[in-house]
Chains A and B, each alone.
Chain A
Amino acid sequence: MVRWPLLRVALSVSLTVLLVVIAVPVSSGPAFTPRRPIEWTIPAGTGGGADQQARFMAPVIAKHNLSPQPFIPVNRPAGAGAQAFLWMIDKSGDPHTILITLDNLFATPQAQVIRRRDGGRFSWRDLTPIARLLLDNFVLWVHADSPWKTLAEFERAAKAAPRGSVKMAGTGSKQEDEIIMVLLEQAWGVDFNYIPFAGGGAVAAALVGKQVEFTVNNPLEAVGHWEGGRVRPLAIFAPERVQFAQWKDIPTMKELGLNIEYQMLRGVFGTADMPREAVAFYVDLFRKLMDTEEMADFIQRGAFTKAFLTGPEFVRWLEAKDASVRGLMQKGGLVAP
């Protein structure tokens, strides 16, 4: 009868271990607080729009004590974002890794097939949506020395010019800028000449240096040149005018009779299968962040549309956005075969 107690001890020990193993994740409780620095993945290189925003927001978060641990921006620019997206899947379930997005989250998986490690095709649904923060606008800019004072004048010139002689500079290939150009081409029945550059700064420089006739730079990328009297905005691709000082005089495409609208998502996503408590923590954090004075100032200077949105409405918005980007890219012949 020596065996019984031994077996019982063994059984109860293994049961306890099992219970502890099961209980630990549960007991991490309803409230999540980060225990280690949060890695903020940027699916683009240093100096770009997403990079600037993450590096702007991280210290504001620290300044207002919104998180007990710092946010550390880490660039993963490979494959037009593909490397960063796959990283977020590799980190599945990790509550300490988040992603700032730009529209390559929608465009890159259309322009090329990104395979997950398990062979499936990647889409934004693999990640955990946290919040939409801002919508970045696009403005049609021409050089200040050009004869075109209004969109109508530019349209007339574009239609009169020989095919492909009007040049546009844009960021990357098969991304937002090219999508917008294709929309314009189709609306006017013209053929522009698209020249890809590595970043928004280089694109703006190409216009200022009169290498090209126009760009669709984001406001923040071109505002300095505008103030310096080197470029002129003709129209904004937003659904309505931006209601800030100098920006409110720029007419929307719609007002001018062109049904073209494009805004870029500046949002935050969590790793695949991020615990619900962690998502709640980040939602709360970013809601508070958006109400800070620094963000208000940043939004005004960059002529962003403040657009905080979370939960099911955010997901619905994402579905619509994804469908629209896909539709636009199909229309423009920019999708992967």
Chain B
Amino acid sequence: MRRAEIVAALVLAAGAAILVREALRLPVGWTSIGPGSGFFPFWLSIGVAIAAAAIVMKSVRVPATPGRDAPFIRTTAWKPLLIAFLPMVAVIAALRYLGIYIGGGLYLAGYMTFVGRHRWISTILVSVLIPVALFFIFERWFILPMPKGRLLEYLLYER
């Protein structure tokens, strides 16, 4: 945990430096009508950098606990975390093709199978019915267009 604390604080400090750089592209001074557009971003990012530096200092000063430092994520926790996380990345990355309904249905089916270990029949029912219900709610009744993806667009409108 101590190492994770230090690493996180260092990453945040580095991030703050990037923010300072982005803020410097704007006028950061005090103009005739009050602060310029970069005034707040600049001083806030300086403040963020100082706070991050303070967290780094503090976390370094905490004496290391005797024995092995507890890991940030237990080795046994990696697998369930990645099973939840990586498919999310994949579905969002493929949003253009799958859309939210088909992509969401696949995610639901996958998660129910590999984590929930539900029976295949309920898995199929749930992962088909929920996206279909959502489709009708958002696209048909509330006419709120969501990304439908190439496949669904083709099935709905191009045939």
Whether the Cβ atoms of B157 and A74 lie closer than 8 Å is: no
Whether the Cβ atoms of B143 and A36 lie closer than 8 Å is: no
Q: Which residues of B contact A74 (CB under 8 A)?
A: 145
B135 CB → nearest A CB, Å: 13
Complex Cα spacing A72 to B143, Å? 7
Q: Which residues of A contact B145 (CB under 8 A)?
A: 37, 39, 72, 74
Contact mask B130-159 → A, CB, 8 Å, 1/0?
000000000000010100000000001100
Is A64 part of the contact surface with B, judged by Cβ < 8 Å? no
By the criterion of a CB under 8 Å from any partner CB, how many residues of chain A are at the interface?
A: 7
Complex Cα spacing A72 to B156, Å? 17
Q: Which residues of B contact A125 (CB under 8 A)?
A: none
Whose C-beta in chain B lies nearest to the C-beta of A173? B37
By the criterion of a CB under 8 Å from any partner CB, how many residues of chain B are at the interface?
A: 4
Q: Which residues of B contact A36 (CB under 8 A)?
A: 156-157
B81 CB → nearest A CB, Å: 33
Contact mask A54-96 → B, CB, 8 Å, 1/0?
0000000000000000101010000000000000000000000
Complex Cα spacing A242 to B77, Å? 71
Whose C-beta in chain B lies nearest to the C-beta of A39? B145
Complex Cα spacing A70 to B142, Å? 12
B157 CB → nearest A CB, Å: 4
Whether the Cβ atoms of B143 and A35 lie closer than 8 Å is: no
Whose C-beta in chain B lies nearest to the C-beta of A36? B157
Whose C-beta in chain B lies nearest to the C-beta of A70? B143
Complex Cα spacing A36 to B157, Å? 6
Q: Which residues of B contact A37 (CB under 8 A)?
A: 143, 145
Whose C-beta in chain B lies nearest to the C-beta of A58? B143
Whose C-beta in chain B lies nearest to the C-beta of A193? B33
Complex Cα spacing A74 to B147, Å? 13
Whose C-beta in chain A lies nearest to the C-beta of B143? A72
A88 CB → nearest B CB, Å: 15
Contact mask A31-66 → B, CB, 8 Å, 1/0?
000011101000000000000000000000000000
Q: Which residues of A contact B157 (CB under 8 A)?
A: 35-36
Whose C-beta in chain A lies nearest to the C-beta of B33? A193
Complex Cα spacing A146 to B156, Å? 60
Which A residues lie at the B interface, using CB under 8 A?
Answer: 35-37, 39, 70, 72, 74
Query: Known contacts A37-B143, A70-B143, A72-B143; can you find 4 more A-B pairs with CB under 8 A?
Result: A35-B157, A36-B157, A39-B145, A72-B145
Which B residues lie at the A interface, using CB under 8 A?
Answer: 143, 145, 156-157
Q: Report 10 cross-chain contacts, Cβ distance below 8 Å, ordered by A residue.
A: A35-B157, A36-B156, A36-B157, A37-B143, A37-B145, A39-B145, A70-B143, A72-B143, A72-B145, A74-B145
Give the 4 A-B residue pairs with the shortest CB-CB distance, closest first.
A36-B157, A72-B143, A35-B157, A39-B145
